[in-house]
Amino acid sequence: MLKLGLTGNIASGKSTVGKIFESLGAYYFDADKIIKSFYKKDHSVYYEILKHFGEEILDPSGEINRGILANLVFSDQKKLKKLEEITHSALYEHLNRNFLTLPESSIVVVEAALIIEKQTYKNYDAIILVYSTFEDCLLRATLRGMSAEDFLRRWRYQLSPEIKTRFAHFIIKNSSSLKELSLRAKEVFDIFRLWSVLKS
C-alpha cells in the first residue's frame, strides 16, 4: 500500500487535487470532512467535545455549532490544542480501520491541512503540496463565502506555503486554470502508479 499525504494552505485547491486523484483510482480520505462527521449527535467524539467545551457550543437543535466552536478555540491556544487532541486521535483510528479494509496494492491519499504542522507527514510514503499564493487563496476563500477575518485567522495558524515546500516530495502549483491543475495532478499520479507497482 502506498500512503500519500496531501496538504496545502486554506483554499489552496488541495481538495480539488484530492478528487482528481480519486478519479484516477486513488482511495481518497478528506480529514476535514471525516472530523466534521464526528461532530454529529450520538458520535462518541460529540460527547467528548461537549464535556470539555460545554453546551454553549450547541445550536438550538443540539448540534455542535462549528462557528461558535471555532471562535472559542482560535482565541485560546489551550482549548485549540485540546480540541485537536480529541479529534485527531479519533481521525487516526478511523483512518487505520479503513486502511485495513483496502487491497494491499492500493494508493491511499489522505488530505489534511496540518500534516506538516503536526509532524504526521512522517506517517506517509510521500507528501504532495498544493502550492498557491496568499493572494490566490484569499480570493478563493472569500469567493466561497468566508470572511477575510476568518481566513486570516486560519492562515496565521498554518505554516507558510514557502516553508511547506521544504517538506514536500511533490509540489503541484495552483496558479492557473483547472485544466492546468488537472494535467499536473495526472502527471504526478502517473508517478505514484509506477511507484506502487515497484513497491509491491
pLDDT value of position 22: 98
CB neighbours (10 Å) of residue 31?
23
pLDDT value of position 29: 98
Amino acid at 90: A
> For residue range 155-198, what is the model confidence (pLDDT) as tens digits?
998 999 999 999 999 999 999 899 999 999 999 999 999 999 88
Residues in CB range of 98: below 8 A, 6 or more apart: 29
Helix (H, G, I), strand (E, B) or coil at 129: strand
Amino acid at 146: M
115/91 Cα distance (integer angstroms): 13
**Which grid coordinates are listed for 195?**
511507484
**Which grid coordinates are listed for 21?**
486523484
- Tell me which DSSP letter residue 120 carries: G
* Positions in the chain whose pLDDT score sits under 50: none
From the list 60, 57, 61, the residue with the least C-alpha distance to 70 is 57
pTM of the predicted model as reported, rounded to 2 decimal places: 0.91
pLDDT value of position 21: 98
pLDDT value of position 97: 96
pLDDT value of position 197: 87
**Which grid coordinates are listed for 73?**
478555540
Helix (H, G, I), strand (E, B) or coil at 130: strand
**Which grid coordinates are listed for 6?**
496531501
29/44 Cα distance (integer angstroms): 20
Amino acid at 62: G
Backbone angles phi, psi at 111, to 5 degrees: -90, 125
**Which grid coordinates are listed for 36?**
466534521
Q: What angle do CA 118, 123, 128 make, to 5 degrees?
A: 80
**Which grid coordinates are listed for 17?**
487535487
pLDDT value of position 74: 85
